[in-house]
Amino acid sequence: MKLDGELKSSSKPLEAKRKGMSSVGKYEFGPYRIVSGKSGWTKTTSNQKLFSFETKSESKKKSSFTFVANGKDTLVVNTSTNTKVSESGIGDFYSQINKSTDNYIAIISPLSDTVSWKMVFVFSAGEDVAGNFQAEGILTNGVTNIKIKEVKQWEDGKVPMMKLICGYEFILDNKSIAAVQSSIDTFQKKFVWLRQDLDENMKTMLAAASASLFVNTDESAASLDR
């Protein structure tokens, strides 16, 4: 995907690969990996008003995974996703998603530290969404606030088919410090970039947040496929 020039020159791409089959993807990239995870039941409620072609549904899901950096630093990540969907349809002849919104929260807790980080991330898709896909978020420990911004352009300047989101940049003090390529297009490879001049604790936290985005992308892709 298209990277900020300074980030590109001060980082190396780490390809993320999913190992084995599990409810939470065991992604590995560079010295970072998800070693275990579990996913709770998805609870869904839906309703349709009389004489209306619109169906509204809401689902809630929780999951968690253990993340290891450099073979020694361990973090526990607890996530929750609240998904709201507005859908129009006439029997089996016509159906479309007007708007689907995932409100995703990840609490990232290093076992060696008392300070946890919280990532709040919102992903929207559907006919009523400008550009059909939108996403934004924040990663914070209560003192440091890192903005998460969508990227909708490939390295060659081309826009993805269907205007899909290619990935995300992490912005601190107007500087791009990391990026993750994570698209609901399952044929696209996944990558993480981390500025080499960041301290190891920050790299680990950004890597864990990137892994969380991979997990969230898997959930969003599955939700839109239903």
Residue pair 190/16 in contact (Cβ under 8 Å)? The answer is yes
Q: Give the per-residue pLDDT at 52.
A: 62
- Residue 124 tokens read as 């929207």
How many domains does the chain contain in total?
Answer: 1
Confidence of residue 186 (pLDDT cuts 50, 70, 90): confident
Lowest average pLDDT, out of 40-49, 55-64, 111-120, 171-180, goes to 40-49
Average pLDDT of span 145-150: 98
Q: DSSP string covering 165-199, please?
A: --EEEEEETTEEEEEEE--S-TTS-EEEEE-TTS-
| Domain region containing 80 | 5-225
Distance CA 155, CA 171 (A): 19
Kindly state the helix (H) or strand (E) to which residue 225 belongs, with its residue range: helix 200-225
Decide if pLDDT at 92 tops 80: no
pLDDT tens track for 61-86:
999 999 999 999 999 999 999 999 99
Task: Tally Cβ neighbours within 10 Å of residue 212.
Answer: 26
